[in-house]
Structure 1
């Protein structure tokens, strides 16, 4: 029972991946099958966002065979935040929106750092913990 998070840059490279177990804000490395699942969705998600003016897409009808609800959010920089929530976890759309806003704020602060480089993995412990805090309401 996990919530998986991936941040993908506008050039379609992973900037952050991780998963959080239900009931805890503790970060875990994204398991390989979920990583490949998000990777396989990348092109389709970017195409969907190109065709719509919506900033967020909730419960996209993609990846349902993997037993996850996939939610996507496009940031102002063109990056995409994907959240995969296992079907056995019930979450309101409002909680998902609040999580996206919190993660977007965290990423915006990280990008303002003068040492930030686009298309690199964001692996700062503070950032990982902050994203865990943002995702935590989805896991309870």
Structure 2
């Protein structure tokens, strides 16, 4: 990806949503690079904070209402080349379902022990550290 293309594409906000001892993962209908399962995520719109984008994308994709707690970190994703901002979120209300079936085909609440089945390439270290701290195994 050229530097110019990176400037044009908006950063992606990913919602790292935990409830009990699980984290919400969604499976995209169309893979992004080698990614299939990931956190609810989408482009940050003009004038929108990463926290607002993470909560909006979660609602649009899964119907779940969440509250952003804190930004866990930012990186250029090694598989997609997109700038990713990871936001820790708590559930306010609702049950996660596939609402946007144009983008998603499945969701799962995964335990820390099961995450490697969904994300075999490993997680961004600040996300891994956050999940290890908040999820009991």
User: Structure 2 length normalisation: TM-score?
Assistant: 0.31
**Higher helix content, 1 or 2:** 1
TM-score w.r.t. the length of structure 1 is: 0.31
* Structure showing the higher strand proportion among its residues: 2
